[in-house]
Copies of this chain bind each other. A is one copy, B any other.
Amino acid sequence: MQLYDCATAPSPRRVRIFLAEKGISIPTRQVDLRGREQLQPAFRAINEDGTVPVLVLDDGTAIADAVAICCYLEDLQPEPALIGRTARQRALTIACNRQLERDGFYAVMEALRNSTPGLKNRALPGPDDYQQIPALAERGRARVNSFFARLDRRLAATAFVAGESYTIADITAFITVEFAQRAKLPLPPNYPHLARWLANQSARPSAKA
């Protein structure tokens, strides 16, 4: 197996943290997103989408999505379970993870990609160019605030994002909070539960991945 990675991008970091939590080591190859290597024919032959991460299996199969890669790794090595152990836990973890992506990760992406000068025609990842929409950057910022508030409420009741154990949903929330900082949307000071959870996440060895 080989992981096409980019050390500075949030989506491949999800997979690196997942791997670290599993204790799995896979050779990685850095893709130069800043130099737009992901949009060159050589990389698009591996992933037409022009995005990272991509996990390439020994038979050449390319899995070109962070969550799909995590599901594959969970199937390969079930312990420690990071996507739930029972059908009920799995469903709740998946639902929570998807909600965090919709309301958190995509909101940060809207805010960042529609306002960063270096991403003028790159308002969306992928092969097609789309112009920035300033109103969408503004909407993204409002949504991130709402996301923080809701995550704090959730973490008032549970130790981890999807319940009583550490899961992929914690990884998604963690990289979303980091990604928000990069979009100049730091954590507001009035969310004690979120702050406590974030300190715990940052102290895990996998946070260095």
What size tier do the contact residues of chain A reach? 35 or more
Q: A65-B99, A68-B98, A133-B133 are in contact. List 4 more A-B contacts (CB 8 A).
A: A61-B92, A71-B90, A124-B143, A135-B136
Contact of A61 (CB < 8 Å), options: B65, B68, B75, B88: B88
Contact A49 B87 (CB under 8 A): no
What are 28 inter-chain pairs, A to B, with CB distance below 8 A? A49-B99, A61-B92, A63-B91, A63-B95, A64-B95, A64-B99, A65-B94, A65-B95, A65-B98, A68-B91, A68-B92, A68-B94, A68-B95, A71-B91, A71-B94, A72-B87, A72-B90, A75-B90, A75-B91, A76-B87, A128-B143, A130-B142, A130-B143, A133-B135, A133-B136, A135-B135, A135-B136, A136-B136
Q: Is A37 an interface residue (CB 8 A)?
A: no
Q: Is A103 an interface residue (CB 8 A)?
A: yes
Q: Hey, what's the 0/1 contact readout for A46-67 against B, CB within 8 Å counting as 1?
A: 0001000000010001011101
Q: Hey, what's the 0/1 contact readout for A110-152 against B, CB within 8 Å counting as 1?
A: 0000000000000110101010010110010011001000000
- If A64-B95, A72-B88, A94-B67 touch, whether A126 touches B139 (CB-CB below 8 Å) is no
Contact A128 B99 (CB under 8 A): no
Q: By DSSP majority rule, is chain A's interface helix, strand, loop, or mixed?
A: helix
Q: Which of A67, A94, A130 has the most CB of B within 10 A?
A: A94
Bound CA span A139–B75, Å: 37
- CB within 8 Å of B: which residues of A? 49, 57, 61, 63-65, 67-69, 71-72, 75-76, 87-88, 90-92, 94-95, 98-99, 103, 123-124, 126, 128, 130, 133, 135-136, 139, 142-143, 146
Bound CA span A87–B61, Å: 12
Q: Which of A71, A76, A103, A146 has the most CB of B within 10 A?
A: A71
Shortest distance from the beta carbon of A164 to any chain B beta carbon, whole Å: 14
A-B pairs with the 7 shortest C-beta distances?
A: A68-B95, A75-B87, A72-B91, A65-B95, A68-B94, A63-B91, A68-B91
